[in-house]
Amino acid sequence: MTIFYFTSTGNCLAVAKKMGGELVSIPQVVGGGTQEYQDDVIGVIFPIYGFGTPKMVRRFITNARFAADYTFAIGTYGNLPGAAMENVAKLAQRRGKSGDIGGFDYAKSLLMFDNYLPMFEVGKETERTKEKNIEENLDKILADIAARRHFVEKAAIGWKIATSLMRAGERFVINGRQAQGYIVDEKCIKCGVCAKVCPSGNIVVDDEVRFADRCEGCLGCVHLCPQNAIHLKNEKSSSRFRNAAVSLDGIIAANNQKEAENE
């Protein structure tokens, strides 16, 4: 089994690690044109942002060709999934049947920790973790995949409309520039961790921290700064989150574009 994943604060990497198989970070393979992969089972695990799939994940699915007996997609979310899973299944379906992904056999969302700081406090989200039944729901998904169950999560028309509006806002209003509004305070020691955990290579650290216009909106740089020096203007609190099952080094290994270039 091969699992392609996109992670920022570790939720998706934690899920991928529990599933096992060969783990491949999407940021490390997304560049270039059409890419071909072969295995008995191939899966894609990604976070759901604003009811949608990260731009990098959509680009990967658009360009990938999977030769597999069974394919699946898991989208992790913290509050509401919108129509993300139905849309990602349709994106894969549009790739056709002739050696391409040809649609996912299984596509389901998984409720996890919500780290979106403009809406949620990390402390309160930590208190809510048990009631989300994360491990129990993940075990059900793992059982479905082990049994090669066929299922694609559907969304009501209202969620489809809401998702479309959110995606339009991303394309025409935010368009990768959201990090340019982040605040870097005096605690910053220019350690470069923010640049290393950024999946899109959007951050440069020299005499200052500079953000370009390729931001995925993952908030990895904000949550994982060792000095807690990066802030949003409208964040609910200064508390930060990283999935306890994943190390900072593990996220750096998954996302550091400079390390990928040197290999």
The H or E element that residue 88 is part of is: helix 84-93
Place of tokens 């040809």: 102
Instruction: Identify the pLDDT of residue 169.
Output: 64
DSSP string spanning 186-211? TT-----HHHHH-TT--EEESSSEEE
Query: How confident is the model over 134-164, as pLDDT tens digits?
Result: 999 999 999 999 999 999 999 888 878 877 7
Please say if the pLDDT value at position 99 is more than 50. Answer: no
Cβ proximity of 74 and 134 under 8 Å: no
Domains in the chain: ranges and CATH: 2-165 (3.40.50), 178-262 (3.30.70.20)
- DSSP state for residue 26 in the 8-state scheme: H
For residue 31, which phi and psi values (nearest 5 degrees)?
A: -65, 160
Could you give the CA distance from residue 234 to residue 2 in angstroms, rounded to a whole number? 39
Query: How confident is the model over 209-255, as pLDDT tens digits?
Result: 999 999 999 999 999 999 999 999 999 989 999 999 999 999 999 99
Could you give the CA distance from residue 226 to residue 194 in angstroms, rounded to a whole number? 9
Cβ proximity of 21 and 3 under 8 Å: yes
Per-residue pLDDT, averaged over 169-184, amounts to 78
Could you give the CA distance from residue 50 to residue 213 in angstroms, rounded to a whole number? 18
